[in-house]
Amino acid sequence: MRHLLTSMEFTQDELLGLIALGRAMKADPAAYRTSLAGKSVVTLFEKPSLRTRVTFDIGINRLGGHAVYLDQQNGAMGQRESVKDFAGNLSRWCEGIVARVYDHQTLIELREHATVPVVNSLCNLYHPCQALADFMTIAEHYDDLTKVKLAYLGDGNNVTHSLLILGALLGTSVTAVCPKGNGPDVQIFNQALDLAKKSGAHLAVTDQVEDIKGFDVVYTDTWVSMGDNTPLEAVKDKFMPYQINQGLLDNTGIRHVLHCQPAHRELEITSEVMDGPASLILDEAENRMHAQNAILHTLINQGDK
């Protein structure tokens, strides 16, 4: 039984296969209309969502399957009943579990007790579905992912970790540019460095924006992630030098911009850039659905081969 918790469950070839499948599904949706026919997927959310909730629901529907949305109104996982019992019960009814949780440990427990594939749709440490959609979006513009240089600007968070890991696996160079004290988790970065030895990807962490001159793609995310109650106002001054704006694009020569959204306009990114010609942000949001459908098709039908 294969799951997707971190992306490290997959090889470079398998990830390239998922990206290719996502692109094929986008190009010819009719060919995949019955991929999940008669199958149900439970999507459960401990945190808010727009893109993830809607893309899984509509995406599963496009594959002929049925999505069941669970929020936490009916009792948080581990509170009304244990994560083990959640996993055991859900596994008797559905063919896959998609979960957005506060703590990565909850996903590990779900995986341990579920008898169906578990997909991480964001936790404190990773956002692998996002990163797959991001690399699919990059692949729509660059034929060879091993030649791409991706810069991440801002807070070193779950999205940063998944970009570093996927970059390491796919052979894409990733540099995280973060203020001192806000870099990615050191253990996860070291793990990514280890993975990069095989692919040859160059990974780096710096606080110097000048280091990304000549890069191809620049990415940013909120400066304060869900679950952290720090007001954005309180970190604004520290992060402002890491804002994506037209000046940054002009100075670095970077041609493409990504943001996982939700975005805070005029904070981590200006409206001028977000709505401008370099922005691939809405393609990226659309690709969440195609990339996730590739994941679900692959994981849920894994026993059918």
Question: Are 295 and 132 a contacting pair, CB within 8 Å?
Answer: yes
Restricting to residues 239-278, name those near ligand NVA by CB under 6 A.
Answer: 260
| Closer CB to ligand CP, 175 or 222, in the complex | 222
Q: Which residues pair with 40 in a beta bridge?
A: 66
Q: Does 182 bind ligand CP (CB under 6 A)?
A: no
Considering CB distances under 5 to 8 angstroms, the limit depending on partner class, which of ligand CP, ligand NVA, none binds residue 225? ligand NVA
Considering CB distances under 5 to 8 angstroms, the limit depending on partner class, which of ligand CP, ligand NVA, none binds residue 158? ligand NVA
Determine whether 302 is an active site residue.
no
Question: Are 241 and 277 a contacting pair, CB within 8 Å?
Answer: no
CB of 155 to ligand NVA, least distance (A): 7
Considering CB distances under 5 to 8 angstroms, the limit depending on partner class, which of ligand CP, ligand NVA, none binds residue 39? none
Q: Which residues pair with 118 in a beta bridge?
A: 97
- What are the start-end ranges of the E strands in the chain? 40-45, 66-70, 96-100, 118-120, 149-153, 173-177, 203-206, 217-220, 256-259
Determine whether 100 is an active site residue.
yes
CB of 15 to ligand NVA, least distance (A): 20
What is Dmax (Cα atoms) for the chain?
A: 56
Binding string, residues 34-53; x marks residues near ligand CP by CB under 6 A: ---------------xxxx-
Options 3, 51, 62, 100, the catalytic residue: 100
Closest residue by Cα to residue 240 from 271, 209, 207, 268: 268
Among 18, 25, 97, 122, binds ligand CP (CB under 6 A): 122
Find all residues with CB under 8 Å of 261, minimum gap 6, and list them.
50, 51, 281, 285
Determine whether 23 is an active site residue.
no
- 3-state secondary structure string, 121-145? CCCCCCCHHHHHHHHHHHHCCCCCH
| Closer CB to ligand CP, 129 or 188, in the complex | 129
Restricting to residues 102-141, name those near ligand NVA by CB under 6 A.
Answer: 122
Restricting to residues 260-299, name those near ligand CP by CB under 6 A.
Answer: 260-262
Residue 190 token pair = 């070291």
Among 108, 193, 226, 235, binds ligand NVA (CB under 6 A): 226
Binding residues for ligand NVA, rule CB under 6 A, total 9
**How distant, in Å, are the alpha carbons of 80, 112, 118, 121, 173 from that of 85?**
10, 11, 15, 20, 41
Placement of tokens 């091993």 in the chain: 146
Residues that bind ligand CP (CB under 6 A): 49-52, 122, 130, 260-262
Active site residues: 100, 127, 130, 221, 260, 288
Residues that bind ligand NVA (CB under 6 A): 122, 157-159, 221-222, 225-226, 260
